[in-house]
Structure 1
Amino acid sequence: MKKLKVVIICTQNSARSQMAEAFFKKYGEDIIEVYSAGLEPTIVNPYAIRVMQEIGVDISGQRSKGVKEYLGKMSFGYVIAVCKKAEDRCPVIFPGVRTLLAWPFDDPAAVEGSEEEKLQQFRQVRDAIEAKVKDWTIDYRNSI
């Protein structure tokens, strides 16, 4: 069976899209080929790495990638924007995209405060992303 190609995009490809990529691998690796990219890639956020490790998912080997790595080289069944900025720019970035899904999650890196407050925000966003990816993957699996 041919796997569905999905790309998750975000502004920096540093946290939300990285976590979503990992959860797609966890829940749908047998049916989904997943990628992630950013409009302005930076580095994978250390807080994202840390909160994913807390639940046994290692993203420390992942790297931040730009959308240009995929343009003209791959086509995707779904482009999933996990932030509003990426959603707004997606039709321009991936012209002719078959299906765009908008899953805007709060930017955990935008939280100011103590380390514990930052970690708490990353955990909340991580858990929301996991629930969304898991539910969507189950629905997709049931549809094929």
Structure 2
Amino acid sequence: MRVLIVGGSGFLGNELVRQSAAEGHVVAATCLTRPGTAAGVDWLRLDVRDRAAVVDLIGAFSPDVVVNAAFRQSDWVTTAVGAAHVAIATAGKGGRRGGCTGDARCAGVREIAATRISRPPAAGTTPSRQTSEEFGLMR
């Protein structure tokens, strides 16, 4: 499976990259300034605030799955608008996407199943809660 981890050089993204590569997936991961350290990964520079760049990168890599772990606490545009850019670009290419939320970052997660895929939120739940449940962070 071709997996794209957006924000792959961050704390959570790095673990997702590591586990995806260990499972034998073809992995590309993005970084804003410095690539991560995982071997066997195609490290790509990306500013998620640039919608055209996000669309181009997702189109060029053609992932089966996109997981967005990009996060910058002090930058709403990166965290929220960037996430929208990733979701829109993924949907436009017919891909599947998973989301990593603040819930995951705050839970002290050590093991995350990188191959979990997000689905539309069930009635009465939020995307954040649903994603947390999929990754085993909430019960």
Aligned to 2:67: 80
Deviation at residue 78 of structure 1 after TM alignment: 0.9
Q: 2:19 aligns with which of 12, 17, 23?
A: 23
Please give the TM-score of this superposition, normalised by the length of structure 2: 0.50
Aligned to 1:114: none
Deviation at residue 133 of structure 1 after TM alignment: 2.6
Q: Which has the higher contact order (CA 8 A, sep 6+)?
A: 1
Aligned to 1:112: none
Q: Is the 8 A contact 1:79 1:97 kept in 2?
A: no
Q: Is the 8 A contact 2:21 2:40 kept in 1?
A: no
Aligned to 1:42: 33
Q: Which runs of 5+ in 1 are unaligned?
A: 50-57, 109-120, 138-144
**Which structure dedicates a bigger proportion of its chain to helix?**
1
How far, CA to CA, are the matches of 1:42 and 1:107 in structure 2?
23
**4+ long deviations beyond 4 Å:** 60-64, 105-108
The structure with the larger Rg is 1
How far, CA to CA, are the matches of 1:19 and 1:64 in structure 2?
17
State the percentage of identical aligned residues: 11
Describe the SS at the equivalent of 2:114.
Answer: helix
| 1:131 and 2:112 matched | yes
Once the two structures are superposed, residues 41-100 of structure 1 have per-residue CA deviations (whole angstroms, 9 ceiling, x without a partner) of 0225xxxx8xxxxxxxx6489766327583442211111112553432213444324212
Q: Which runs of 5+ in 2 are unaligned?
A: 48-52, 71-78, 118-139
Q: 2:2 aligns with which of 2, 5, 24?
A: 5
Give the superposed CA RMSD.
3.8
Describe the SS at the equivalent of 1:24.
Answer: helix
Deviation at residue 124 of structure 1 after TM alignment: 2.1
Aligned pairs, how many? 99
Please give the TM-score of this superposition, normalised by the length of structure 1: 0.49
Aligned to 1:33: 26
Q: Is the 8 A contact 1:14 1:64 kept in 2?
A: no
Aligned to 2:131: none
